Amino acid sequence: MSENHLEKIAAGLVERAIAAGGSAADVIMYEADEFSTTVRLGKVENLKEAASRALGLRLFLGARSATAFSSDFSDSSLERLVKRTLEMARATSEDPASGLPEPKLLGAYAGDLELYSGDIGELSPETRIEMARRAEAAALAADPRIKNSEGAWFEASQGCKAYANSLGFSGSYQTSYCAISVAPVAQDGGMQRDYWYSVARRASALESPEAVGQKAAERALRKLGARKISTCRVPVIFDPETARSLLSHIFEAVRGDAIYRSASFLAGKLGEKVANSNLTVLDDGLRPGGFGSRPFDDEGIPSGITPVIEAGVLRNYLLNSYTARKLNLSTTGNASRGVAGPPGVGPKNFYLVAGPQTPAKILQSVKSGFYVTDLIGFGVNIVNGDYSRGASGLWIENGELTYPVEEVTIAGNLAGMLNQIQMVGSDLEFRGALAAPTLLVEGLTVAGA
Amino acid sequence: MNRFFLERYGLTQTDLERYLAAALEEGGDYADLYFEHTTVSSLLLDESLVKTATEGISMGCGVRVLAGEQTGYAYTDDLTPEKIIKVASIAARIARGPARVSRLGLAEASPTNNLYPVALPATDCDLAEKLALIRRADQAARAYDARIHQVRVTYGDQIRHVLIAGSDGRVAGDFQPLVRIGVFAIAQENGKFQAGSSGGGGRVGLEFFESETTPEHFAREAARQAILQLEAREAPAGDMEVVLGPGWPGILLHEAIGHGLEADFNRKGISAFSGRLGQRVASEICTVVDDGTLPGRRGSLNMDDEGEPTKRNVLIEQGVLKHYLQDRLSATILKSAPSGNGRRESYEHIPLPRMTNTCMLAGHEDPQEIIRSVKRGLYAVSFGGGQVDITNGKFVFSASEAYLIEDGKVTAPVKGATLIGDGPTVLTRVTAVGNDLKLDPGIGTCGKNGQSVPVGVGIPTIKISRLTVGGTSLKQLQAFQ
């Protein structure tokens, strides 16, 4: 189905909702082809292929609203959908902040964001399987202690998204995505697993399967012989992967819905210094080929660039039109919506701007400390900033990585941690919508034996 | 049971046989069809306003072909014969060579127990009735204490019709209701904010919320936790004695033991429990079961998502590892009996070995005595999520309500903290098991390989002689030593 065709169905459903008595309405639609394969120990383990589509309707009756979704686009099904949504809308509360965005704000970025590439579709299933096989083979060949693997994966998807509302906006765009990943298991007495991956919106931008496999092997190997350490308070270095998780907590803390509910440690801090002055965080919807890039958000607001933290000062929350109205601010174009339910708040390319120090320089600055490579668990409380997660990584002694460490936790408070980021690395790389470089943070408690 | 798909989509036995034949046209050992029709509805109450009502239907068919250890899978959300034949042919590509399936005579499996005999599924109840429930929760949370500043109540229900037809001749259907309420409260005092949450549900109708497990009960529980956190002090950091309260803390079993016993990881030799059947992995006062047959529980099923009746599987018996959790593929490869643990999130997903309700059986000790036996330690009664690294066995689970134990008495509440341990050894340090087995309230969801399924846990009060507590306070640690 073409983009245009999806857009027409969306606009048609909006019209139908208004004709049935809705005072306003909007529709979001997705259509996607999905492919994934798992290769394990050289053999194809899984091969999965599918096409799917779905739409979500939001209908307003003045200040009341309801939503419904379906994957059945037949006339009779859409008729029922509208009728049912109308009935539900009558039962909800009047919410003065509800409604579509202001008409004058609607629009789409006109330039090419490079969100779609036809080269992914041109890869045959055999080529895709071969890329996974090569990644795993490279990991297995890296060292005799790697004899097993959880598998290697190649995934690809191509899709189209359309949005239309009763203010006359309609738009659609195509996206594509592909990824290679591999999870080798290193064995030497104990077992350790790790993984590595490469993702891109075009096949030609993927790293070589061999490079991905080699990196995955190195990550698993360096964990062998891991031990517990004694409880201590030391400087902690987050590698770019774990630093990205810290950034995800910052995102959770600046989303408008957490702010208006007082459910964030950053609520009420606009214009205040909330982080060390070496910290700048941007939300950029316009990076070419970015995983968080898009011409317009899921309410028809054109993408732009929002400074979130500038030199440690909190400049903006991230908002959709609902949370903007709740806070008497303007939407930042961060509406994000699946087919089920109303728009929430999602990141565009949300990243921490690279700093001056190379990762090697940061490491050299630490006499003894903990270099974190893995974090597990959900021990993060955005309401008060309390932070406590399971960690593993490597011990730092005199500026060098020494032995691997496991079965410890790191704990602190996010509000304090943001102010104790002593160094920001120069190694920023985008491997998803969120990205951060290496970070050195002081004041964390490492709990162990 | 199968009448649903016959009536709604005209799906007959002849159709099923034709689709299975298409799935096996390139060869293969086995094929199955998974038809699903799920209706969901949800409500959100926030700031005392019903802000959202949502309803939707997802339906489709997943076709799977097994050839040796290989799986071909394809699905469609369009249940027309042409589309199903097409996806069957795509799934068939995994196999090369003659089909090793001789006959396709389908026979409907005899009905299993009905573990969820719900007279009127919540999905079919009036919206007004559901709205009344969430409004009651909102009012009760706000009435609990003047310091309750924000309340958010979520409600969700679903009905899932499934029909599974396998090339071994089995046809099995089920009708699976599920309902859940969640309450989130934020307390405020002197500019400080703290959160609490609670909720419950199961494969039950709305009558579940009529006595004991009322909306008010969950609301007061969420509010109580939020207020309690206002006075919580820093959690201790380091190794110490830990007592887990009964119920939800059973998430320990789910993370430390359950995932590591899923047969896919074990047949691949990548679990910390691989090759350890018959070995001691817990102290002998520990017996752990995974039981998919508990009536009305969130993790229960009449049959798994491969049509296999669920069971009560003993995982650890008096400390000795007895069984892994199997799906069809792993059971075939390991030449083991199926255990009824092949589950999938939806028709879009390949079945995997998954848990149902994972519980430790009750012991003999008085819970109060267990607490009295601890000189310095942590008493943890409520948890958020957890996670495990299957391969090295290290797991975490995060306490959301915990207290210090000092000289055998529960004293000050402490802030949330993550507890970390080693799956294959943590239960060897269980030195006391209480007589108070309790199941969780029915809100657990487990994620694996991107698939979420509803699960349950249960545990009596237990004492673990040493576990690492991930707090921030070094001072308290020193006081402990």
Taking CA–CA distances from B329, the nearest residue in chain A reads A45
Residue-level pLDDT at A125: 93
Residue-level pLDDT at B113: 78
Interface confidence, given as ipTM, is 0.94
Residue-level pLDDT at A132: 98
Chain B contact set for A150 (CB, 8 A): 268, 270, 391
Q: With an 8 Å Cβ cutoff, is B51 touching chain A?
A: yes
The distance of B194 to chain A (nearest Cα, Å) reads 6
Residue-level pLDDT at A189: 87
Q: With an 8 Å Cβ cutoff, is A96 touching chain B?
A: no
Q: With an 8 Å Cβ cutoff, is B469 touching chain A?
A: yes
Q: With an 8 Å Cβ cutoff, is B46 touching chain A?
A: yes
Interface test with A, best of B82, B392, B419, B425 (most A CBs within 10 A): B392
Per-residue b or e along A147-167, where b marks 16 or more CB atoms closer than 10 Å to that residue's CB: ebbbbbbbbbbbbbbbbbbbb
CB B385 to CB A40 under 8 A? no
The distance of B185 to chain A (nearest Cα, Å) reads 10
Q: How many CB pairs under 8 A join A and B?
A: 257
Residue B477 pLDDT exceeds 60:
no
Q: A415-431: per-residue pLDDT in tens?
A: 999 999 999 999 999 99
| Minimal Cβ distance to A342: which of B52, B193, B470 | B52
Q: With an 8 Å Cβ cutoff, is A323 touching chain B?
A: no
Residues 6+ apart with CB under 8 A from A125: A35, A37, A47, B93
Residue B1 pLDDT exceeds 60:
no
CB A447 to CB B468 under 8 A? yes
Amino acid at B411: T
Q: How many structural domains comprise chain B?
A: 2
CB A409 to CB B418 under 8 A? yes
Taking CA–CA distances from A49, the nearest residue in chain B reads B74
Chain B contact set for A190 (CB, 8 A): 392
Amino acid at A414: L
| Minimal Cβ distance to A376: which of B46, B389, B472 | B389
CB B235 to CB A388 under 8 A? yes
Residue-level pLDDT at B103: 57
Q: B344-379: per-residue pLDDT in tens?
A: 999 999 999 999 999 999 999 999 999 999 999 999
Taking residues A176-193, what's their average pLDDT? 96
Taking residues A134-156, what's their average pLDDT? 98
Nearest to B137, CA basis, from B214, B72, B85, B192:
B214
Taking residues A151-175, what's their average pLDDT? 97
Residue-level pLDDT at A4: 80
CB A92 to CB B473 under 8 A? no
Confidence class for position B474, pLDDT limits 50, 70, 90: confident
Q: With an 8 Å Cβ cutoff, is A221 touching chain B?
A: no
Residue-level pLDDT at B481: 44
Domain boundary among B195, B230, B265: B230
Domain boundary among B230, B247, B266: B230
Residues 190..219 of B with a Cβ closer than 8 Å to A: which? 192-195
Residue-level pLDDT at A159: 96
Taking CA–CA distances from B90, the nearest residue in chain A reads A49
| Minimal Cβ distance to A193: which of B49, B54, B270 | B270
Residues 302..361 of B with a Cβ closer than 8 Å to A: which? 348, 350
Residues 6+ apart with CB under 8 A from B176: B116, B159, B160, B161, B162, B203, B301, B302
Residue B476 pLDDT exceeds 60:
no
Reading phi first (left if > 0) and then psi (alpha if -120 to 50, else beta), residue B73 is in beta
List for chain A the helix, strand, coil content (%; round to 5).
Answer: 25, 40, 35
Q: B153-210: per-residue pLDDT in tens?
A: 999 999 999 999 999 999 999 999 999 999 999 999 999 999 999 999 999 999 999 9
Q: A101-135: per-residue pLDDT in tens?
A: 999 999 999 999 999 999 999 999 999 999 999 99
d(CA A145, CA A154): 24
Neighbours of A118 (CB within 10 A): 11
Residue B105 pLDDT exceeds 80:
no
d(CA B219, CA B214): 9
Taking residues B29-45, what's their average pLDDT? 96
d(CA A309, CA A317): 9
Residue-level pLDDT at B108: 75
- Whether residue B466 contacts residue B283, with contact meaning beta carbons closer than 8 Å, is answered with no
The distance of B474 to chain A (nearest Cα, Å) reads 8
Q: What is the DSSP letter of B416?
A: -
Q: What is the residue range of B80's domain?
A: 3-230
Average pLDDT, chain B: 94
Confidence class for position B106, pLDDT limits 50, 70, 90: confident
DSSP letters of B226-285? HHHHHT-BPPBEEEEEEEEPSSGGGHHHIIIIIGGGBHHHHHTT-STTTT-TTSB-S-TT
Q: With an 8 Å Cβ cutoff, is B476 touching chain A?
A: no
What is the CATH classification number for the domain harbouring B145? 3.30.2290.10
Q: B381-394: per-residue pLDDT in tens?
A: 999 899 999 999 99
Q: Provide the strand spans (E) within A144-301.
A: 146-165, 170-188, 190-193, 196-200, 232-238, 281-284
Chain B contact set for A343 (CB, 8 A): none
Residue A150 pLDDT exceeds 90:
yes
Amino acid at B364: H
Taking residues A241-269, what's their average pLDDT? 97
Taking residues A246-256, what's their average pLDDT? 98
The distance of B237 to chain A (nearest Cα, Å) reads 5
Nearest to A405, CA basis, from A215, A242, A192, A217:
A192
- The β-bridge relationship of strands B394-406 and B409-414 is antiparallel
| Minimal Cβ distance to A92: which of B53, B392, B422 | B53
The distance of B111 to chain A (nearest Cα, Å) reads 31
Q: With an 8 Å Cβ cutoff, is B69 touching chain A?
A: yes
- Alpha helices by DSSP H, A180-269: 209-221, 240-254, 256-260
DSSP letters of B360-414? EPP-SB-HHHHHHT-SEEEEEEEEEEEEE-TTT-EEEEEEEEEEEEETTEEEEEE
Interface test with A, best of B394, B425, B467 (most A CBs within 10 A): B394
B180 and B247 fall within a common domain: no
Chain B contact set for A272 (CB, 8 A): none
d(CA A298, CA A29): 10
Residue-level pLDDT at B107: 79
Q: With an 8 Å Cβ cutoff, is B467 touching chain A?
A: no
The distance of A268 to chain B (nearest Cα, Å) reads 11
Domain boundary among B230, B249, B276: B230
B467 and B332 fall within a common domain: yes
DSSP letters of B109-146? PPP---S---SS-GGGS-HHHHHHHHHHHHHHHHHH-T
Interface test with A, best of B52, B65, B267, B478 (most A CBs within 10 A): B52
Residue B475 pLDDT exceeds 70:
no
Q: With an 8 Å Cβ cutoff, is B71 touching chain A?
A: yes
Strand pairing partners for B99? Answer: B28
Amino acid at B428: T
Lowest mean pLDDT among B60-64, B205-209, B470-474: B470-474
Interface test with B, best of A78, A409, A414 (most B CBs within 10 A): A409
B11 and B93 fall within a common domain: yes
Confidence class for position B94, pLDDT limits 50, 70, 90: confident
Q: Given CA atoms A375, A381, A386, A388 in this order, what sign does their dihedral have?
A: negative
Nearest to A50, CA basis, from B87, B290, B358:
B87
CATH of domain A3-221: 3.30.2290.10
- Whether residue B27 contacts residue B100, with contact meaning beta carbons closer than 8 Å, is answered with yes
Confidence class for position B109, pLDDT limits 50, 70, 90: confident
Q: A288-304: per-residue pLDDT in tens?
A: 999 999 999 999 999 99
d(CA B28, CA B100): 6
Taking residues A249-268, what's their average pLDDT? 97
Nearest to B31, CA basis, from B78, B117, B93, B121:
B93
CB A49 to CB B74 under 8 A? yes
Residue with tokens 């909007």: A26
Residues 6+ apart with CB under 8 A from B464: B241, B242, B243, B244, B421, B426, B429, B430, B431
Reading phi first (left if > 0) and then psi (alpha if -120 to 50, else beta), residue B32 is in beta
Residue-level pLDDT at B98: 62
Q: With an 8 Å Cβ cutoff, is A400 touching chain B?
A: no
Residue-level pLDDT at A314: 98
Chain B contact set for A191 (CB, 8 A): 270, 272, 391-392
Q: With an 8 Å Cβ cutoff, is B230 touching chain A?
A: no
CB A378 to CB B387 under 8 A? yes
CB A91 to CB B128 under 8 A? yes
Interface test with A, best of B45, B54, B274 (most A CBs within 10 A): B54
Q: B323-344: per-residue pLDDT in tens?
A: 999 999 999 999 999 999 999 9
Q: A305-357: per-residue pLDDT in tens?
A: 999 999 999 999 999 999 999 999 999 999 999 999 999 999 999 999 999 99
Residues 101..160 of B with a Cβ closer than 8 Å to A: which? 127-128, 131, 149-150, 152
Pull the structure tokens for residue A37.
């394969």
DSSP letters of B420-476? EEEHHHHGGGEEEEBS--EE--S--EEEETTEEEE-EEEE--EEEEEEEEE-SBHHH
Residue-level pLDDT at B192: 92
d(CA A71, CA B83): 14
- Whether residue A409 contacts residue A241, with contact meaning beta carbons closer than 8 Å, is answered with no
Residue-level pLDDT at B95: 84
Give span(s): CATH 3.30.2290.10, chain A.
Answer: 3-221
The distance of B113 to chain A (nearest Cα, Å) reads 32
CB B468 to CB A449 under 8 A? yes
